[in-house]
Amino acid sequence: MTQSDARARIVLALRQAGVTDSRVLEAIETIPREVFMSAGFENRAWEDAALPIECGQTISQPYVVGVMTAALSLSGREKVLEIGTGSGYQTAILAKLSRRVFTLERYRTLLRLAQSRHEALKLTNIVSKCADGGQGWPDQGPFDRIIFTCATPFRPDALLAQLAPGGILVAPVGAGAVQELLRYRLRDDGVFEEEALMDVRFVPLLPGVARDA
């Protein structure tokens, strides 16, 4: 099966599983996931599975990427903050669907790899930094959308404070092996609405910047 056939198959599977946002599906079909795989896993790029990458992290399965991206309700005009660049795959999807993406990664190795992939794909609306994602990026806020690609043990109040009125934050929340994917909306009156989407499994958000990676 060709890469093109494999992409089309996974997009059809996502649609059948309930990911119906046509812009999200087009971005998933357009961005070559194989570019973001670790060596030896390129031939598994279009499996609907989370797979290992460097620094003990993972690249999320396409279905979860689709659900989380669709939950952001992106129109193309938003300023987005991503907590956890990882392989850079979710970042690339966001870059196709928003005005500008700011992304934070604690592992320098991952950030360098992601930056090289984004440059190769000519994605020019991404701003990245090696930093503690749990602190967010306050001097670049507020953000229209915020997404966590790692699990935060509690409600991420520090990041909710960086959300613009009417904004949306999507994050896996919970300290166990299984977390709850939550969507927060900031109403114009300053009240947060919380909605549970599904159960997920993500690597945990870790504090600080990794010293040797």
- Going by their DSSP bridges, the two strands 179-186 and 163-173 should be labelled as antiparallel
Give buried/exposed letters for 59-72 (b at 16+ CB in 10 A, else e).
bbbbbbbbbbbbbb
Number of neighbours of residue 77 by Cβ within 10 angstroms: 9
Burial class (CB in 10 A: 0-12, 13-18, 19+), 177: exposed
Contact between residue 127 and residue 99 where contact means Cβ atoms under 8 Å apart = no
Among 60, 87, 98, 128, the active-site one is 60
Q: Is 38 a catalytic residue?
A: no
Query: Could you list the active site residues?
Result: 60
